[in-house]
Structure 1
Amino acid sequence: MRTEGHLRKAISQPLFRRLLAVRLTSQASDGLFQASLALSVFFNPDIQADPLSYAVAFTILVGPYSLLGPYVGVVLDRFSRRNLTIAANLTRAALTLMVVMVLPIGFEWFWVVCAMGVLALNRFVLAGLTAAQPHVVAEPELVTANSAASTLGAVAFGLGIASAGAAQLFHSGLSYAFLAFLAAIGYAVSAAVASRSFRPAALGPEGGERPSSGIWQGVRDTTRGLIEGLRYLRHAAKPGWVMVLQGVHRMLYGIVFIVAIVLFFGFFHNPNLHPNGEDSLRWLLILAVLGNLGVALAALTTPRATRWFGPRQWVLGLALTCSIMAAALAGTMLPAMFAIAVIFINIASQGIKITVDTSIQTEVADSYRGRVFSLNDTIYNVGYLGGLFLGALFVPGDGYTPRTLAGVALAYLITVVGYGYASRNAPPYDTHHEHHSKAL
């Protein structure tokens, strides 16, 4: 089966292109906004950072929507995903403008609360767009559509971050507040594209599959719904096991991330030659570009690889690649090795994500899909946060800790063996199912 044919079919769908435009404008704005926050903290001379401080800072970035995740599914399964996307982006634009007004003043509580609101609403947008994907492309093209959408979204996010970093590195004179203002414009544009491109019911959920209970009853039943969702996944082992693998991967990814951040601001940083941290920022921009290259390569390889080798073998190979890269980092502890590793680890991370998204879309009923996607997002982000704080416990102030990276390599290897055994009769999805769908 030719992947190129699937990509052409997906791109030829006007609704898919419009949904992609909503995603790209939103995620590029996310990159600008989050970079403006991070730079204002990490390059603030009044803040003395350590591994725990970095973990706390990133918790502010991803913590709110991680905890909000389960409630997102309750809403996405009851109300128009198109309308929710519009409302979330318009609210984010308004909150970002509030951040713009207080950002020059300093790191104040109001600034933090508004920022957490912007980031929390990100869950409604991304989870809603992913759950809506089956409504804009045919099932045989889902894996390729997921690859294109999530990968291009990640690239747009990375470009937003890189643009903000380049503005800082080249002393453009653009303030962090102005970068946040550009993000607010992007959120408003994303809302406008969604409003003009789709009817209220076009992105689901379908009327006959919406839960009959009201929103407040849904909120009260969220905990019970999560338990039911977990029970659902017990009987749907295909998406369940690969979601577990992705959660473990994200935890280990978080550990490697905190090691890299502390290393480049600590052990690899030369304060005598670069008192303002230009060397650290330069390396982090290089890693960001290479990380986006890895994401793009995942988009090219994952659709073909899952059809050639099968999705189960593909994610096993990706997790094994992470183990090899972590071992190489532990053995060298050199910036160049991090530059190489970030490519392969991001190929693995994005490839696993594409496979998980496709598994949920093809193996989970639409009436549960929003909740399962939200549960998956929570596992995805909480795993990452856990990795950040776990890494902060073992990473010294300068970040030089080859033993920690060796432990990560071993943990990835154990994960490969464990998932390989648990999923021996439950691959993420049936690759023959799309052949059957084509014949119908």
Structure 2
Amino acid sequence: MPVVRDLRVLLRLRDFRNLLAVRLLSQAADGVYQVALATYVIFSPEKQTSPAAIASAMAVLLLPYSAIGPFAGVLLDRWRRRQVFLYGNLLRAFLACVTGMLIVAQVPDWLFYASALSVTAVNRFVLSGLAASLPHVVGPDQLVTANALSPTAGTLAAVAGGGLAFLVRLLASDSNALVVLLGAGLYLFAALVSLQLAIGLLGPDHPAGRTHPSVVEGVALTVRGMAEGLRHLASRREAARALVAMTMMRFCYGALFVMLLMLCRYAWSDNESDGLALLGIAVGASGAGFFAAAVVTPWLVGRLGPLGWITACSAGAA
């Protein structure tokens, strides 16, 4: 199988293995933390979940990707990426512990959301740094494969972390704080694994004589780059259609997931534990889908073409 063969070749590279281990641990911790957030907001017996509460939880999870993501590179170009992984994961471990204490203390919701948002905001820098570091640990002819396999493996790790969180939550009643502390432990482990990477290995690279723009200039360049990217897409209809299709599918997935949360909480179960078990089954099925997609997509894209496979997936989802 080509995917397995490519992964076997990449895993022979020590620095790639270490970078992948940082990604897997970091995203497994993300999965644990996200499940802890969802179960605390939606499945805690003392809370009567409203659509506004679910919207707040989704905003905490997604806002950093939309607001911070495009500009993360401005700061990453100034920091050693190995240090971003080390201190970013240490900071997330600390903030996750703070979140656990806030859960136990029953503080106002806005304070809990502020703490959770801080954790997910740091996550954006770590994930961007992981993507930017790949060219430093694989050869140019291996970069496309590494860029395809690493995020997929990270997604599967996040699903596995979520499954572990569901298991802990079901085995130990009223254990939201314990699940958050489990995520903190994984963040700490990811920080320790990052020490296996040399400080200067992952960049950023600054050619001699090149003047580095200020942060304000970097933000302005990013905004101009995004505008140029949109103009570029306007003249590349096939790429634009693929991105629109992906955006719409993610939007529909999010809407269906929110509906699933409410059904598991109020319609398909008589108590919070049963609802959480149903949601765990749904998340497990989603993880199986991610894994199946990673295996069959390269083969089917070769036969149906990118747009053909996107169309088939959209039709199947509908």
Report the TM-score, using the length of structure 1 for normalisation: 0.64
Are 2:284 and 1:289 aligned?
Answer: yes
2:293 counterpart residue number:
298
Residues in 2 aligned to 1:110 and 1:136: alpha-carbon distance in whole angstroms: 40
Instruction: Give the secondary-structure state (helix, strand or coil) at the position aligned to 1:54.
Output: helix
Question: Contact (CA 8 Å) 1:71, 1:219: kept in 2 or not?
Answer: yes
1:124 counterpart residue number:
125
Seen in structure 2, the aligned counterparts of structure 1 residues 235 and 18 have a Cα distance that, compared at 3 Å, is farther
Measured after TM superposition, the shift of residue 105 of structure 1 is 0.9
Residues in 2 aligned to 1:295 and 1:71: alpha-carbon distance in whole angstroms: 28
1:206 counterpart residue number:
205
Judge which range, 132-141 or 242-251, deviates more. 132-141
Q: Indicate the percent of aligned positions where both proteins have the same amino acid.
A: 35
Kindly report which structure 2 residues correspond to 1:20-169, keeping only aligned pairs within 5 A, or say none.
Answer: 20-108=20-108, 109-169=110-170
Judge which range, 28-37 or 113-122, deviates more. 28-37
Seen in structure 2, the aligned counterparts of structure 1 residues 256 and 174 have a Cα distance that, compared at 3 Å, is closer
Residues in 1 aligned to 2:16 and 2:52: alpha-carbon distance in whole angstroms: 41
Kindly report which structure 2 residues correspond to 1:213-362, keeping only aligned pairs within 5 A, or say none.
Answer: 213-219=213-219, 221-234=221-234, 240-269=240-269, 271=270, 276-323=271-318
Measured after TM superposition, the shift of residue 123 of structure 1 is 0.8
Question: Contact (CA 8 Å) 1:169, 1:282: kept in 2 or not?
Answer: yes
Question: Contact (CA 8 Å) 1:3, 1:304: kept in 2 or not?
Answer: no
Seen in structure 2, the aligned counterparts of structure 1 residues 198 and 295 have a Cα distance that, compared at 3 Å, is farther
Question: Contact (CA 8 Å) 1:77, 1:211: kept in 2 or not?
Answer: no
Task: Output the amino acid matched with 1:165.
Answer: F
Seen in structure 2, the aligned counterparts of structure 1 residues 2 and 165 have a Cα distance that, compared at 3 Å, is closer
Residues in 2 aligned to 1:129 and 1:179: alpha-carbon distance in whole angstroms: 25
Seen in structure 2, the aligned counterparts of structure 1 residues 284 and 40 have a Cα distance that, compared at 3 Å, is same
Deviations 1:184-231 (A, max 9, x none): 22212212222322332x334433498731224323554334323434
Instruction: Give the secondary-structure state (helix, strand or coil) at the position aligned to 1:207.
Output: coil
Deviations 1:224-253 (A, max 9, x none): 343234345556666554333221211111
Seen in structure 2, the aligned counterparts of structure 1 residues 316 and 81 have a Cα distance that, compared at 3 Å, is farther
1:381 counterpart residue number:
none
Seen in structure 2, the aligned counterparts of structure 1 residues 73 and 240 have a Cα distance that, compared at 3 Å, is farther
Measured after TM superposition, the shift of residue 39 of structure 1 is 1.5
Question: Contact (CA 8 Å) 2:81, 2:204: kept in 1 or not?
Answer: yes
Task: Output the amino acid matched with 1:289.
Answer: G
Deviations 1:137-156 (A, max 9, x none): 34544454344322221222
Residues in 2 aligned to 1:79 and 1:239: alpha-carbon distance in whole angstroms: 32
Question: Contact (CA 8 Å) 1:78, 1:215: kept in 2 or not?
Answer: no
Measured after TM superposition, the shift of residue 117 of structure 1 is 0.5
1:399 counterpart residue number:
none
Unaligned runs of 5+ in 2: none
Report the TM-score, using the length of structure 2 for normalisation: 0.87
Seen in structure 2, the aligned counterparts of structure 1 residues 129 and 30 have a Cα distance that, compared at 3 Å, is same
Measured after TM superposition, the shift of residue 301 of structure 1 is 1.5
Number of equivalences? 316
Question: Contact (CA 8 Å) 2:35, 2:162: kept in 1 or not?
Answer: yes
Kindly report which structure 2 residues correspond to 1:424-439, keeping only aligned pairs within 5 A, or say none.
Answer: none
Measured on the aligned residues, the alpha-carbon RMSD in Å equals 2.7
Residues in 2 aligned to 1:280 and 1:317: alpha-carbon distance in whole angstroms: 32
Residues in 2 aligned to 1:227 and 1:298: alpha-carbon distance in whole angstroms: 32
Question: Contact (CA 8 Å) 2:93, 2:185: kept in 1 or not?
Answer: yes
Question: Contact (CA 8 Å) 1:144, 1:303: kept in 2 or not?
Answer: no
1:17 counterpart residue number:
17
